[in-house]
Amino acid sequence: MDTEQKLNILTDSSKYDLACSCRMKDEPGRLRGQAGRWIYPAVLPDGRKTFLLKVLQSNKCINDCKYCPFNDSRDIERVTLESSELANVFMELFHAGRVEGLFLSSGVNSSVDKTMEKMLDTVRILRNRHKFRGFIHLKIIPGCSDEAICQAVHLATRVSVNIEAPNAGRLSRLSVKKNFDEGIINTIKKINQYRQNVRHYCGQTTQFVVGAAGESDAEIIKATDRLYTGYEMERIYYSAYQSPAIEPAKPEPGTQLPLFADIPLTSSKTNASFIREHRLYQTDFLLRKYGFSSKEIPLDASGNLSLEKDPKLMWAQSHADFFPLDINKADYYEILRVPGIGPVQAKRIIKQRKEARLNRQNISCLGLKIDKLSSYIKL
């Protein structure tokens, strides 16, 4: 194969790692980048959007993850890009203005450390030979050497190792070869240590494969809370496990279609796994941005989030004693608990009331709909 043929296979294979392509709107669909199927949009921590070449170094893999389309038992075409080959292709796309950064992952080809070394070589070529100083998200293979982790943190803008499941028991249902504590959690721990000692501004993220191991939302939320508080995660992503039947048919040559169907949450065709993923993202925001604790997240008797209502509204409806809230006196995090008010509006309220007491007239100028808020606030 020539480089473009291999790139076609390896960029298409990378679509199953959804950590940088999840949409941040009230829709569960995920879309490819407008520039083509090699390029995906990603949201940076400061809110800016960047476009990444998303690719696997290799789709050869010795692991046995049951949910993965590239595990060692699958009969598929296996290809690998050499480090210089991949670096040169990326720089061509970068100079052409088609991409701004790189999202690099890989199957485990022959051994963990050999795979990491090939990926690190790609990044070294970009950083040292091509003097590329832009965004690089580098996947770290669980169980790799301390030196490989240190190098990854030193070279990349963001690193990640997918946790996949919330605990060792659940991971054992997905893979016999992977070790939850010694492999995944220990690697996450070491990444955080090197971030503190080597390069603090290298971010760390991770991702759950939701639904593949039969776990409850309560298990995922507990693990999420532990990752944020114990390992200073920049972001945690949730990828609904998809059966092949959910993915649309392959497009005709020359056409571009969404990676997954872009179906609004209100549609009767929306798959429950998409909505579950969406609810976990809403919960994630409550934990990261809204000051909620994991114990406050409303769950049903089975330990799962409601598919019909968002968790913040569920909390509000079960805490009538908290409302109506006097938003002329309430603090920032109390205001954030009001359904319909997010961080932007809460900051506007805090700023506005320093100038004048809020009333029905001036609160509407802040972009808030008083009729929808009337049962939750008092003025």
Give tens-digit pLDDT for 69-124.
777 777 777 888 899 999 999 999 899 888 899 999 998 888 999 999 999 999 99
pLDDT value at 47 more than 90: no
Question: Is residue 331 domain-resident?
Answer: yes
Which residue has better confidence, 128 or 4? Answer: 128
Number of residues written out for the chain: 379
Mean pLDDT (the chain, rounded): 84
> What count of other Cβ atoms lies within 10 Å of the Cβ of residue 69?
13
Q: How many domains does the chain have?
A: 2
Query: For the packed helices 112-124 and 146-155, what is the interaxial angle rounded to 10 degrees?
Result: 20
Q: Please state the rounded mean pLDDT for residues 164-190.
A: 94
> What count of other Cβ atoms lies within 10 Å of the Cβ of residue 15?
17
Q: What per-residue confidence (pLDDT) applies to 62?
A: 78
Q: Which of 7-16, 107-116, 286-295 has the lowest mean pLDDT?
A: 7-16
The CATH number that applies at residue 77 is 3.20.20.70
Q: What per-residue confidence (pLDDT) applies to 37?
A: 54
The CA–CA distances, whole Å, from 200 to 50, 90, 117, 153 equal 21, 26, 22, 9
Question: Is residue 146 domain-resident?
Answer: yes
Q: Which of 138-152, 161-175, 325-339, 350-364 has the lowest mean pLDDT?
A: 350-364
Distance CA 142, CA 179 (A): 9
Q: Please state the rounded mean pLDDT for residues 304-329.
A: 95
Same domain, 22 and 122: yes
pLDDT value at 208 more than 80: yes
Please name which of 105, 152, 156 lies closest in space to residue 134, comparing C-alpha atoms: 156
Same domain, 81 and 230: yes
> What count of other Cβ atoms lies within 10 Å of the Cβ of residue 288?
15
Q: What per-residue confidence (pLDDT) applies to 18?
A: 54
Contact 69, 61 (CB under 8 A): no
222-234 pLDDT, tens digit each: 999 999 999 999 9
pLDDT value at 267 more than 70: no
End-to-end Cα spacing for the chain = 69
Same domain, 233 and 330: no
45: confidence class by pLDDT, cuts 50, 70, 90: low
Q: What per-residue confidence (pLDDT) applies to 63?
A: 82
Dihedral pair phi/psi, residue 287, rounded to 5° = -75, -40
Q: Please state the rounded mean pLDDT for residues 240-264.
A: 44
147: confidence class by pLDDT, cuts 50, 70, 90: very high
Question: Is residue 291 domain-resident?
Answer: no
Same domain, 235 and 327: no
Q: Please state the rounded mean pLDDT for residues 319-333.
A: 95
Same domain, 213 and 327: no
Select, from the ranges 246-255, 273-282, 302-311, the one with the highest average predicted confidence (pLDDT): 302-311
Same domain, 16 and 149: yes
Going 8 to 16 to 35 to 43, the CA torsion angle's sign is: negative
Same domain, 72 and 217: yes
For strands 325-326 and 235-240, give the pairing.
Answer: unpaired
**Residue 229 corresponds to which tokens in the numbers above?**
């508080």
Distance CA 272, CA 100 (A): 34
Question: Is residue 175 domain-resident?
Answer: yes
Question: Is residue 272 domain-resident?
Answer: no
Q: Which of 166-175, 211-220, 264-273, 287-296 has the lowest mean pLDDT?
A: 264-273
Asked which of 240, 271, 305 is the last residue of a domain, the reply is: 240
User: What is the domain extent for residue 358?
Assistant: 321-378
Q: What per-residue confidence (pLDDT) applies to 249?
A: 40
Q: What per-residue confidence (pLDDT) applies to 98?
A: 84
Asked which of 240, 275, 299 is the last residue of a domain, the reply is: 240
Asked which of 222, 240, 258 is the last residue of a domain, the reply is: 240
Question: Is residue 165 domain-resident?
Answer: yes
